[in-house]
Structure 1
Amino acid sequence: LWSCPSGPLPLVLSLWSSPLWSSPSGPVPLVLSFWSCPSGPLPSGPPLKMHCRSCALVTSSGHLMGGGRGEEIDRAECVIRMNDAPTALGYGRDVGRRTSLRVIAHSSMQRVLSNITFSSLQDTVFIFWGPSSYMRRDGKGLVYNNLRLMNQVLPKLKVYMISRQKMLQFDELFKKETGKDRRISNSWLSTGWFTMTIAMELCDRINVYGMVAPDHCREPQPPSSPSPYHYYEPLGPEECAMYISHERDRSGSHHRFITEKRVFTSWARTFNIHFYQPDWEPPPLTTLTTDLR
């Protein structure tokens, strides 16, 4: 497990997952631990205590553009974002301006750290995830080394990493919910998977903005108005093309975006999760029975 010179500072979160994640005696908790290595004036107690009555989980989807949901998003008690998705540069009207928590993949680390502002030091918690080779703390872990240096330069920065043991628990949750072994199927869990799972623990209600339904890309798409995968990259990859290529490819490590959305749809039937921009609700379970596995 990750530790600091003065000893590990654990935050333990118990996630009660969907009915599929159960045992004869009831639901089995998925325990998530985040470890930080604070230095300087940071407190030495538990590094993060966070509970939100309402959360806005803002995706990076191009569907957010033109919706004017920014003020609505900012009214949530906590606003959760992913990777380096921006709020400045005129995006605030559609995606909001506040950020309470940002979940970041190792591949986005440099872009996020290079854009940290003074306000984010006061208001934002950063949680990083990545493969164990990037997180190792023996001098060879790229993410750990960068975060440790950043913590020395900006000691008030609230930075956390997901431990290797808990990464394995995320894998196990994916397998329990889908019947698919992530590693055998050459898949990487997406930042959206980690973000939704963390939000389920922290939030009483989750309003998800920009996430399409799992069958969205099977519907006829207007050829003149494809939605970009990232709202801040309007000339970048098209959303459905990205989802379909990742879902079907078995030759290398890819995200299973559509499979993950099926799981989120299932969770939304049990938990207080709602989808906006586009607005949709999970269909009755019977209509998805033949498509879930």
Structure 2
Amino acid sequence: MDTSDWFRQRFDPHQCPVLNHTHILDPQALRWWLGLQHNTDKQTLEEVMSQLFQVIPPPSLDLQPLPSRCRSCAVVGNSGNLRHSGHGKMIDSHTSVIRMNKAVTSGFEEDVGNRTTHHFLYPESAVDIVDGASLVLLPFKVKDLQWLTSALSTGHITMTYMRVKERIKADLEKVLVVNPEFFKYCHEHWTEGHGRYPSTGLVALIYALHTCDQLSLFGYGADQNGNWDHYWEENPYPGAFRKTGVHNADYETQIIHRLAQEHKITLRT
């Protein structure tokens, strides 16, 4: 498949999406990441990572896509445009099904399916992970890594900047942490500095671009009435999702549509 200059300028095949126990972060990436949210902890990142990888094993997954394997991925956003879509069986037919944050499947199977292989979250959006799926932490601060260690072991961390789940159900063998350098790459190469940092949904999409052979995208953007909401709830303030002051939803939507035009993803609406 031909690759355009637009895609080549953005996609870096050498990026490592997942943090491992031996990784030493680039100083510039570390400085950017530490500035995302307020950090007050006196522990060094190395100390925190060392403690984390005593609770979870270093990642051993082969993340590289291979045509012979034909790993198909469904990245499922939480948009209200999934309501009455009937996409459930199509979503579940993919090799990997990526969901994020507080995604609900029970009661919505016809539209969103019921399989999950990877669940992206951060402490403030945490839910228990279904059996067999990978918890994928998107960390915004050192405290998030400490919370993951605690939530999978002692349960002693109950607050970040708000109340968080003390413990979380997840398969320790399948826990992954998004590399902060990859997060910065998504911000600089893909959203190009629009917004303070990319949304969880955009990071999950770029992660899938790096790990999947065939990629379908469901449940992103506004519904047919222009409302931005979650498919499992009624939202009285539909514009709020676009006006967080953190993400640039309109620019991220442009990226998604361009990727579809470039035939790098299939956008299901």
Question: Offset of 1:191 from its aligned partner?
Answer: 0.6
Closer, same or farther in 2 for the Cα pair 1:243/1:152, shift >3 Å? closer
| Residue 25 (structure 2) pairs with residue 20 (structure 1) | no
Aligned-pair Cα RMSD in Å = 3.3
Question: Offset of 1:155 from its aligned partner?
Answer: 5.8
| Residue 269 (structure 2) pairs with residue 273 (structure 1) | no
Closer, same or farther in 2 for the Cα pair 1:244/1:152, shift >3 Å? closer
Question: Offset of 1:22 from its aligned partner?
Answer: 4.5
Aligned to 2:100: 82
User: Aligned pair count?
Assistant: 220
Question: Offset of 1:124 from its aligned partner?
Answer: 0.6
Aligned to 2:19: 35
Does the 8 A contact of 1:69 with 1:96 survive in 2?
Answer: yes
Aligned to 2:159: none
Q: In structure 2, which of residues 252, 256, 265 is the aligned counterpart of residue 264 of structure 1?
A: 256
Work out the CA distance in 1 between the residues paired with 2:116 and 2:202: 19
Closer, same or farther in 2 for the Cα pair 1:87/1:154, shift >3 Å? closer
Does the 8 A contact of 2:76 with 2:100 survive in 1?
Answer: yes
Question: Offset of 1:234 from its aligned partner?
Answer: 1.9
Higher relative contact order (CA 8 A, sep 6+): 2
Work out the CA distance in 2 between the residues paired with 1:108 and 1:77: 25
User: How far does the alpha carbon of each residue in 1:14-58 deviate from its partner, in whole angstroms, 9 at most, with x for none?
Assistant: xxx9733657xx974351242365558x876x4222455221111
Question: Offset of 1:261 from its aligned partner?
Answer: 1.2
Larger strand proportion, structure 1 or 2? 1
Work out the CA distance in 2 between the residues paired with 1:165 and 1:19: 23
Work out the CA distance in 1 between the residues paired with 2:72 and 2:185: 26
Aligned to 2:232: 232
Q: In structure 2, which of residues 232, 243, 246 is the aligned counterpart of residue 245 of structure 1?
A: 243
Work out the CA distance in 2 between the residues paired with 1:106 and 1:271: 34
User: How far does the alpha carbon of each residue in 1:233-283 deviate from its partner, in whole angstroms, 9 at most, with x for none?
Assistant: 224542xx134434xxxxxx421111011112222233431111x2xxxxx
Q: In structure 1, which of residues 46, 49, 52 is the aligned counterpart of residue 62 of structure 2?
A: 49
TM-score (norm 2): 0.68
| Residue 78 (structure 2) pairs with residue 65 (structure 1) | no
Aligned to 1:290: none
What amino acid does structure 2 have at the position aligned with 1:259?
Y
Does the 8 A contact of 1:128 with 1:160 survive in 2?
Answer: yes
Work out the CA distance in 2 between the residues paired with 1:264 and 1:205: 15
SS at match of 1:206: strand
User: How far does the alpha carbon of each residue in 1:186-240 deviate from its partner, in whole angstroms, 9 at most, with x for none?
Assistant: x23101111100111121111111224xxx79xxx75xxx6451011224542xx
Question: Offset of 1:167 from its aligned partner?
Answer: 2.6
